[in-house]
Amino acid sequence: MRLDGKKIIITGATGIARSAAGLFTGFGADVYVISLVADECVALAEEVDLAGWSVADLSDEQQAVSATAEATAGLGQVDGIFAVAGGSGRRFGDGPLDQVSLDAWRATLDLNLTTSFLPVREALRVMLGQGSGGSVVFVSSVLARYPVAGLFATHAYAAAKGAQVSLARSMAARYAGDGIRVNVVAPGLVRTPMSERAANDPATAEFARSKQPLAGGFLEPEDVASAAAFLLSDAARGLTGQVIEVDGGWGVTETGG
């Protein structure tokens, strides 16, 4: 599962993205990070020997195009992209669909779907131009397939994460002939800055302990980053259009919630 010499873009700089940057470079990759917050990029660059980083709002087309161009220039080529950037839409008003405003819907989809679409589109264009194949890995969520009515009724978020799976499978079919593989990791509850509210909620913490028995609670970011490293590596050269659920047992464990 080595990544020696591979040039990889990661969107995001905390949580899963942060762990992935450290893991990928440890496996021999050159990593370029694109994130919204400069301080987070600086902090990551102090921990990991990055090939470079850019600050961009990846839901903005012009910024996404510019940042991906900077990443391509910094890396020299693009062999893979790990599209992590996203987050909860609760602060916008995401929730049960009958309570979701149009503004909340659009903001949540922009945060989770547009921020994947734009940098992946730009990286894909580079890969096609290179003619040497490549790998795309999206980060979806177990909520796209295994909803929980009580604790996680965030319907715009679930819609965005389900759309990533459909997009990946459609892309996999279209670009397999170009040697470009497209896959998805779908995490359960992971201990990240985004999940801090949930981790500090006693009901959610207890739910995680029973729903994710392999982890005994929240998964660690490294659990997801490891799956992504495999998908980006040549060890996964025969895999495309697949969804790997890194869920600690969520999808096969019955519990309340």
**CA dist., res. 128 & res. 79, Å (int):** 10
pLDDT tens track of the chain, all 257 residues?
Answer: 799 999 999 999 999 999 999 999 999 999 999 999 999 999 999 999 999 999 999 999 999 999 999 999 999 999 999 999 999 999 999 999 999 999 999 999 999 999 999 999 999 999 999 999 999 999 999 999 999 988 899 999 999 999 999 999 999 999 999 999 999 999 999 998 877 777 788 989 999 999 999 999 999 999 999 999 999 999 999 999 999 999 999 999 987 54
Q: Where are the domains of the chain?
A: 7-240
* Residues annotated as catalytic (active site), given as ranges: 157
**CA dist., res. 159 & res. 143, Å (int):** 9
Measured in degrees and rounded to the nearest 5, phi and psi for residue 236 equal -105, 25
Tokens (6 digits) for 167: 């997009």
The whole-number pLDDT of residue 146 equals 95
The whole-number pLDDT of residue 219 equals 96
Question: What type of residue sits at position 167?
Answer: L
The whole-number pLDDT of residue 198 equals 76
Domain 7-240 belongs in CATH node 3.90.700.10: no
User: In what side-by-side order are the strands of the sheet with 52-55?
Assistant: 52-55, 30-35, 7-11, 80-83, 134-139, 180-187, 243-246
Cα→Cα distances 7→79, 91, 200, 241, 246, Å: 5, 34, 37, 21, 24
Q: How far is CA 214 from the centre of its chain?
A: 21
